[in-house]
């Protein structure tokens, strides 16, 4: 039996879900926010370093400070919140959806006209990375190490090896050193680092932590606890270069080998995920291919800035509210195409008749220098920008004014040309 009905239900209380719930409420929709943990704020709660909010608040905030500002906004509008509540199942009804929610009081069913998926992402774990050897205590993800130190106050390591140069690993390398541990090195299988340039400089170089590219961990040693790891160099075909193996004594192996958007629930609703983003396909309203289902934040694609996460949450929340009121018309969605140089672009579809700014986020496949991006609508260039350098870890944002799109039946095409090819 459905115990309550809302216009919009937002799943996930991180920065994406918080922004979505506030904008849904401000757009006049009755809104419920569901969070499985006992506090709002998502991953920001454990990111105690600064660097958040430069775009959104023009301030350099820590993760918890950023989260507090968003939580205050939510409290001011009085949006209904369920904490310690987990969405177990979603059923699509003829109109809207029914959610089965589990919490300490039992199971409740809630009806809604629209849903915003804002469940963030999870870290790739040791099981998803093939490493020979034993499985002793001390093998953990960078996010787990961050949770131990910043939330629980435990030191999980005295001498660590970090596998993968993702941002969380870089941030944790610095954090471990600041807390008195030794970080022997960061080992990255690719020939380029995966994290942001600023994190390489501020977290590794400033602390003399070596970064070994084209190198990986091939074996873990230890019975109860990690005693050491074997590392080896990797050739351009990702094969071990024989004779380069060496043993490193350490008490932990910390993994920073990628994030995966949390979208199992969407798949149960029959939504196909974009293989490049691991999130759903959306249009510029963050509307998925399923009517009434919206996605934002890290559940849509892995963002590097919380500010962009909040921005996509705002769009998704507002659009979900309009959909619930019958005011969001799905115009003609044209696929956004490219010349093969892009890892991905979000949104993947755009309504050329939209009266709102079209906001796109993209990442390139590989580093390009002195490149020019041109976005074309038919033969007209509707956006053009030169970039000194574009790197896959750094997400870029493009805003296209709606009045520029004059060929309403022609798709948008992203073309990236490097200077020597122009």
Ligand X SMILES: Cc1cc2nc3c(=O)[nH]c(=O)nc-3n(C[C@H](O)[C@H](O)[C@H](O)COP(=O)(O)OP(=O)(O)OC[C@H]3O[C@@H](n4cnc5c(N)ncnc54)[C@H](O)[C@@H]3O)c2cc1C
Three-state secondary-structure class, residue 172 = helix
In terms of CB distance, is 120 or 222 closer to ligand X?
A: 120
Among 87, 145, 204, 271, binds ligand X (CB under 6 A): 87
In this structure, the number of other CB atoms found within 10 A of the CB of residue 422 comes to: 8
Alpha-carbon distance of 279 to 340, in angstroms, equals 19
Sole window of 10-18, 148-156, 186-194, 235-243 interacting with ligand X (rule: CB under 6 A): 10-18
Contact 354, 329 (CB under 8 A): no
Instruction: Return the percent helix, strand and coil in the chain, to nearest 5.
Output: 25, 35, 40
Among 32, 200, 305, 364, binds ligand X (CB under 6 A): 305
Least distance (Å) between residue 297 CB and ligand X? 2
Contact 192, 169 (CB under 8 A): no
In this structure, the number of other CB atoms found within 10 A of the CB of residue 38 comes to: 7
Contact 245, 229 (CB under 8 A): no
Per-residue binding letters, 244-283, with ligand X (x by CB under 6 A): ------------------x---------------------
Least distance (Å) between residue 303 CB and ligand X? 4
Per-residue binding letters, 170-209, with ligand X (x by CB under 6 A): -x--------------------------------------
In terms of CB distance, is 11 or 320 closer to ligand X?
A: 11
Output the CA torsion sign for 332, 338, 340, 346.
negative
* Closest C-alpha to 118, from 265, 235, 277: 265
The pair phi, psi for residue 185, each rounded to 5°, is 170, 165
Which residues within the stretch 112-141 sit at the binding site for ligand X (CB under 6 A)? 118-120
Among 29, 42, 189, 336, binds ligand X (CB under 6 A): 42
In terms of CB distance, is 61 or 412 closer to ligand X?
A: 61
Alpha-carbon distance of 324 to 6, in angstroms, equals 9
Least distance (Å) between residue 199 CB and ligand X? 8
Among 5, 26, 36, 370, binds ligand X (CB under 6 A): 36
Sole window of 9-17, 184-192, 272-280, 323-331 interacting with ligand X (rule: CB under 6 A): 9-17
| Angle, CA 187 vertex, CA 182 and CA 242 arms, to 5° | 120
Sole window of 108-116, 182-190, 226-234, 300-308 interacting with ligand X (rule: CB under 6 A): 300-308
* Closest C-alpha to 16, from 282, 412, 291, 254: 282
Which residues within the stretch 336-365 sit at the binding site for ligand X (CB under 6 A)? none
Is residue 37 a contact residue for ligand X (CB under 6 A)?
Answer: yes
Alpha-carbon distance of 383 to 262, in angstroms, equals 32
Is residue 306 a contact residue for ligand X (CB under 6 A)?
Answer: yes
Q: Residues interacting with ligand X, by CB under 6 A?
A: 11-17, 34-37, 42-44, 47, 51-52, 86-87, 118-120, 143, 146, 167-168, 171, 262, 297-299, 303, 305-307, 309
């Amino acid at each position: 039996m459905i115990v309550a009905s809302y216009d919009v239900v937002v799943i996930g209380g991180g920065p994406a879900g918080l922004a979505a719930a506030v904008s849904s409420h401000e757009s006049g929709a009755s809104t419920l926010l569901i969070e499985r943990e006992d506090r709002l704020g998502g991953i920001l709660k454990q990111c105690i370093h600064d660097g958040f909010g430069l775009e959104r608040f023009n301030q350099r905030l820590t993760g918890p400070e950023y989260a507090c500002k968003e939580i205050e906004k939510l409290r001011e509008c009085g949006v209904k919140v369920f904490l310690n509540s987990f969405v177990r199942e979603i059923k699509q009804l003829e109109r809207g959806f029914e959610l089965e929610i589990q919490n300490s009081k039992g199971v409740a069913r809630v009806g809604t006209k629209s849903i915003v998926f804002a469940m963030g992402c999870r870290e790739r774990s040791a099981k998803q990375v093939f490493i020979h050897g034993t499985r002793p205590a001390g093998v953990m993800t960078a996010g787990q190490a961050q949770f131990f130190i910043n939330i629980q106050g435990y030191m999980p390591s005295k001498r660590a090896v970090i596998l993968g140069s993702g941002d969380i690993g870089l941030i944790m390398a610095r954090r471990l050193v600041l807390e008195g541990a030794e970080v022997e090195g960061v080992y990255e299988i690719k020939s380029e680092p995966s994290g942001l340039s600023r994190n390489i400089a501020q977290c590794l170089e400033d602390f003399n932590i070596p970064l070994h590219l084209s190198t990986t961990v091939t074996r873990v040693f230890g019975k109860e606890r990690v005693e050491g790891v074997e590392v080896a160099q990797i050739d351009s075909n990702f094969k071990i270069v024989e004779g380069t193996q060496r043993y490193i004594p350490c008490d932990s192996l910390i993994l920073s080998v990628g994030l995966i958007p949390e979208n199992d629930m969407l798949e149960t609703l029959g939504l196909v995920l974009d293989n490049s983003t691991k999130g759903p396909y959306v249009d510029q309203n963050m509307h998925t291919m399923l009517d009434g289902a919206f996605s934002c934040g890290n559940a849509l694609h892995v963002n590097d800035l919380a500010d962009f996460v909040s921005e996509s949450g705002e769009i998704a929340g507002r659009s979900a509210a309009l959909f619930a009121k019958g005011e969001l018309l799905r115009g003609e969605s044209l696929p956004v195409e490219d010349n093969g140089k892009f890892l991905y672009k979000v949104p993947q579809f755009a309504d050329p008749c939209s009266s709102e700014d079209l906001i796109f986020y993209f990442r390139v496949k590989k580093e390009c220098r002195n490149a020019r991006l041109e976005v074309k609508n038919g033969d007209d260039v509707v956006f053009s920008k030169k970039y000194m350098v574009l790197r896959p870890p750094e997400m870029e944002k493009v805003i296209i004014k709606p009045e520029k799109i004059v060929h309403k039946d022609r798709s948008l095409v992203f073309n990236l040309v490097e200077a020597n090819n122009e």
